[in-house]
Amino acid sequence: MRTRLLPLLPLLHLSCNKEPASTPRSPIDLSTGTHVVLLGTGTPNADPDRSGPAVAIVVDGAVYLVDAGPGVVRRASAARLDVKRLNRVFLTHLHSDHTTGLPDLWLSPWVLDRPTPLAVYGPPGTGELVHHLAQAYRSDIERRLSGFQPSDTTGWRILATEVGPGEVYRDDRVTVTALPVDHQDWPVAYGYRFQTADRVIVVSGDTRPTETIVEACNECDVLVHEVYSDAAFARRSPEWQRYHGGAHTGAADLGRLAARANPGVLVLYHQLLWGTSDSALVAEIAAHWNGRIVSGRDLQVF
pLDDT tens digits, 218-232: 999 999 999 999 998
Predicted pLDDT of residue 233: 83
Q: What is the pLDDT of residue 28?
A: 80
Q: Tell me the CATH architecture of domain 11-295.
A: 4-Layer Sandwich (3.60)
Q: Nearest 5°: phi and psi at 253?
A: -60, -40
Task: Give, as one character, the DSSP assignment of residue 208.
Answer: S
pLDDT at 10: 39
Per-residue pLDDT, 27: 54
The DSSP letter of residue 12 is E
Instruction: Return the SS3 of 30.
Output: coil
Q: CA–CA separation, 293 vs 253, rounded Å?
A: 14
Q: What is the pLDDT of residues 109-133, one digit of tens each?
A: 999 999 999 999 999 999 999 999 9
Spell out, as residue ranges, where the chain has pLDDT lower than 50: 1-26
pLDDT at 67: 98
> Using an 8 Å Cβ cutoff, are 159 and 119 in contact?
yes
Burial class (CB in 10 A: 0-12, 13-18, 19+), 264: middle
Q: Rounded to an integer, what distance in angstroms lies between the CA atom of residue 215 and that of residue 209?
A: 12
Contact 230, 250 (CB under 8 A): yes
> Hey, where are the domains in the chain?
11-295
Distance CA 51, CA 161 (A): 25
Enzyme catalytic residues: 97
Q: What distance in Å separates the CA atoms of residue 135 and residue 158, rounded to the nearest whole number?
A: 12
